[in-house]
Chain A
Amino acid sequence: MQRLIRLSIVLLSVIFLVSSVYAQDDLTDERILLTFIPNVQFAPFYVGVDDGYFAETGFNIALEHLQEPEVVDLVAAGQANYGIVSGEQVILARSQGRDVVYVYEWFQQYPVGIAVPASDNMTTMADLVGKKVGIPGRFGASYSGLTTLLESAELSESDIQLEEIGYNAPEVFCLGAVDAAIVYVNNEPLQIHNRALAGECGDIEDVEIITVASQADLVSNGLIISADFLAENPDTVQAMVTGLDLALQSTINNPARAYLTSMNYVENLPDDEAFITMLNTLAEEQDIFLASEPTRDEITVSRWAMRDTLAETFDPDMITQFEVLLTTIDLWDADTLGYSELSSWETMRDTLLSMGMLDDADDDLTMAFTNQFVGDDS
């Protein structure tokens, strides 16, 4: 009898091992090309990998970081199947013969704005006339955002003094070398704010933002694939979008857990033991809260309540990256995740035309994106 029990245990173990290997073989190896560098802003992808959302939909995902043009070219050339880029990259790329399609809008709000010193009473674009404005370069989402803001106030680039400062906005802004700076609203303003609090930002006591999103709806960061891949593998694309959607929703609902997951991917995130313990507690409490099926607004309030709880115990430096995550989540959140409006694409195209980056408006924008995989259309 004992021999029979031992044999059963061995057999069950073998079956379990074999099925695990077989299950792993069921997963398709895929890369998702991201931009920038590993950062809490990519939390949904870390959550998607570590919490199994991509595996649930059949993917074994590897994440890579490249510059936006490289992401587009690799996807367009069929050397990678999935990439994350901003919407204006899709329009520009398609105008230059790269047949990519945007299938999921990740950022529902455009993340660019202009940072101004709070004490300078510059609250509108008109207040920036004649001022020196720093920008990473005359390209990308920053330049598109600036152009939109200028046009919304019936101004042009000649009304301001535009200066290329690279990706050094916090330093250059605090040195007083520029009067205002184009920033990503979910990141640099928080850094500037904390420097100002610490007295490390010259005469600047705090920062305010004039956001692009408050003036216009521009299509922002999202998932792209090549048109060929879409035509040949719609079910696979649906599976990827579903996985990303689930991961994004999970991140939005429980940023404490998402932040903890991000620590496996992002170096130099604060790893103070007490901080991690409190994050774990907040994550568990949030899970209980979510079980009560709160509304979207209630979840928003609960997210920021986490920040307040952390701020009672920890220094601003410790919680900055968590605040970056919370601010970024506000840019992602929407009633229907992933959905993009034709009007936002048209506004972006018009912006690119006025910037002189597009020669004509010939490309049919309805071919540049699709909502077939999201919401009720999926």
Chain B
Amino acid sequence: MQVTRYKTKHNSSSNKLIKYLQRLLPILTFLVLLMVWYWVTAMEFYPAFIVPPPTAVYETFSEAITSGMLIEHIETTLEEMLFGLLFGVTIGLMLGYAIAKFPLLEQILSPIIVAFQSTPIVAYAPLLIIWFGSGTTSKIVTTAVIVFFPTLINTIVGVRSVSPQLRDLMRSLNATTWQMFTHLEIPSALPMVLAGLKTSSTLAVIGAVVGEFVSSGSGLGYLVTLARNQYDTPLVIVAVLTMTAIALTLYSFVAFLEWRLLAWQRRSRH
């Protein structure tokens, strides 16, 4: 009996240690990459203007933050991303639901939607600038266009994945259309919709930045172009890393949302 108790205590401590180390892994990976980067620059495999040392990038980051320049560009890109997400996801959800419920609509709209989405955004971004102007509107439209498709597809799949048996059960209980929608279709489609939202959240950065590359006076994409034309490689890296951080933050937020909203699903499995 004592041996068993000892083994239980030991297993519990080991599990905690393993979980702790697992949480540290991303940080350890980051540190290793940082060390490799520093080593590459210290060994001077490439000129400093091609691969600047981490210290130069950090100094540039500090200057950009304290001067307020980086915050200003982040605000512009965030505004374009968030509004673009709002419009693109809303339209994607509404149209996705309509297409899921009315197959005829899918037959009519699918060719147009697929053709539009198959064309790389960089090809028609200049047209969007001409049509919507060089301000934030065109970038919001670019972002909305790019996030629309994953939301649409995942909504269609999610709504169509509703179990026919559950639908029959609801009908047999005289559920109204609204009750079917709120108590059946939304919970059933939510996992797929949130998966689509995770994809859309990372694409939103691309949409905003592509628009800024083509024509802008502000934003992280514009900052990359400006830094590139001023031969300021550290600033290019600062802008790129900032975009990455924004994309990761947005993705993590959606993942957290998914974890909270789908708690019932985890409980039902256990």
Q: Which residues of A contact B (CB under 8 A)?
A: 67-69, 72-73, 76-77, 92-93, 95-98, 136-140, 163-168, 171-172, 175, 177, 357
A165 to B216, CA, bound (A): 7
A93 touches B134 (CB 8 A): no
A107 to B226, CA, bound (A): 24
The 9 A-B pairs of least Cβ separation, nearest first, read: A166-B215, A139-B229, A96-B231, A164-B217, A69-B228, A97-B49, A165-B134, A171-B130, A166-B214
B172 contacts across to A, CB distance below 8 A:
none
Name the interface residues of B225-241: CB closer than 8 Å to any CB of A. 225-226, 228-233
Name the interface residues of B44-69: CB closer than 8 Å to any CB of A. 46-50
Given contact pairs A98-B49, A137-B215, A164-B215, A357 touches B134 in the complex (Cβ within 8 A): no
- Shortest CB–CB separation between residue B224 and chain A, in angstroms? 11
5 A-B contacts, Cβ less than 8 Å apart?
Answer: A97-B48, A98-B49, A164-B222, A166-B214, A168-B215
Given contact pairs A77-B50, A357-B230, A166 touches B129 in the complex (Cβ within 8 A): yes
Considering only CB atoms, which chain B residue lies closest to A134 in the complex? B134
B230 contacts across to A, CB distance below 8 A:
92, 96, 139, 357
Interface residues on B, range: 20 to 34
- Shortest CB–CB separation between residue A309 and chain B, in angstroms? 36
B216 touches A164 (CB 8 A): yes
A163 contacts across to B, CB distance below 8 A:
134, 217
Considering only CB atoms, which chain B residue lies closest to A163 in the complex? B134
B49 touches A73 (CB 8 A): yes
Among A68, A95, A168, the one with the most B-chain Cβ atoms within 10 Å of its Cβ is A168
- Shortest CB–CB separation between residue A106 and chain B, in angstroms? 20
A175 to B216, CA, bound (A): 18
A138 contacts across to B, CB distance below 8 A:
217, 226
* From B46, B133, B231, contact of A69 by CB (8 A): B231
A166 touches B217 (CB 8 A): no
B130 contacts across to A, CB distance below 8 A:
168, 171-172, 175
A136 to B222, CA, bound (A): 12
B187 contacts across to A, CB distance below 8 A:
none
Instruction: Given contacts A98-B231, A137-B229, list 10 more A-B pairs with CB under 8 A.
Output: A69-B231, A77-B47, A92-B230, A96-B232, A138-B226, A139-B225, A139-B226, A140-B229, A168-B215, A172-B134
The answer to the question of B191 belonging to the interface, with a C-beta cut-off of 8 Å to chain A, is no
- Shortest CB–CB separation between residue A94 and chain B, in angstroms? 9
B129 touches A165 (CB 8 A): yes
Among B47, B126, B226, the one with the most A-chain Cβ atoms within 10 Å of its Cβ is B47
Q: Which residues of B contact A (CB under 8 A)?
A: 46-50, 126, 129-130, 133-134, 214-217, 222, 225-226, 228-233
A76 contacts across to B, CB distance below 8 A:
47, 49
A68 contacts across to B, CB distance below 8 A:
229
- Shortest CB–CB separation between residue B56 and chain A, in angstroms? 11
B129 contacts across to A, CB distance below 8 A:
165-166, 168
A177 touches B231 (CB 8 A): no
- Shortest CB–CB separation between residue A151 and chain B, in angstroms? 20
A137 contacts across to B, CB distance below 8 A:
215-217, 222, 225-226, 229
Considering only CB atoms, which chain A residue lies closest to B217 in the complex? A164
Considering only CB atoms, which chain B residue lies closest to A68 in the complex? B229
Considering only CB atoms, which chain B residue lies closest to A352 in the complex? B230
A97 to B217, CA, bound (A): 27
A171 to B225, CA, bound (A): 22
Considering only CB atoms, which chain B residue lies closest to A175 in the complex? B130
A92 touches B134 (CB 8 A): no
A131 to B54, CA, bound (A): 44
Considering only CB atoms, which chain B residue lies closest to A69 in the complex? B228
Among B50, B214, B231, the one with the most A-chain Cβ atoms within 10 Å of its Cβ is B231
- Shortest CB–CB separation between residue B184 and chain A, in angstroms? 48
A68 to B47, CA, bound (A): 18
A72 to B49, CA, bound (A): 11
- Shortest CB–CB separation between residue B166 and chain A, in angstroms? 52
Considering only CB atoms, which chain A residue lies closest to B130 in the complex? A171
A175 to B133, CA, bound (A): 11
A171 to B129, CA, bound (A): 10
- Shortest CB–CB separation between residue B138 and chain A, in angstroms? 10
Considering only CB atoms, which chain A residue lies closest to B228 in the complex? A69
A92 to B215, CA, bound (A): 22
A92 touches B231 (CB 8 A): yes
A72 contacts across to B, CB distance below 8 A:
231
* From A95, A165, A175, contact of B215 by CB (8 A): A165
A166 to B222, CA, bound (A): 11
B49 contacts across to A, CB distance below 8 A:
73, 76-77, 96-98
B50 touches A73 (CB 8 A): yes
A67 to B225, CA, bound (A): 11
* From B46, B133, B225, B231, contact of A93 by CB (8 A): B231
Considering only CB atoms, which chain A residue lies closest to B234 in the complex? A96
A138 to B69, CA, bound (A): 15
Considering only CB atoms, which chain B residue lies closest to A135 in the complex? B217
A77 contacts across to B, CB distance below 8 A:
46-47, 49-50
B228 contacts across to A, CB distance below 8 A:
67, 69
A139 contacts across to B, CB distance below 8 A:
225-226, 229-230
A117 to B123, CA, bound (A): 30
A164 touches B231 (CB 8 A): no
B229 contacts across to A, CB distance below 8 A:
68-69, 92, 137, 139-140
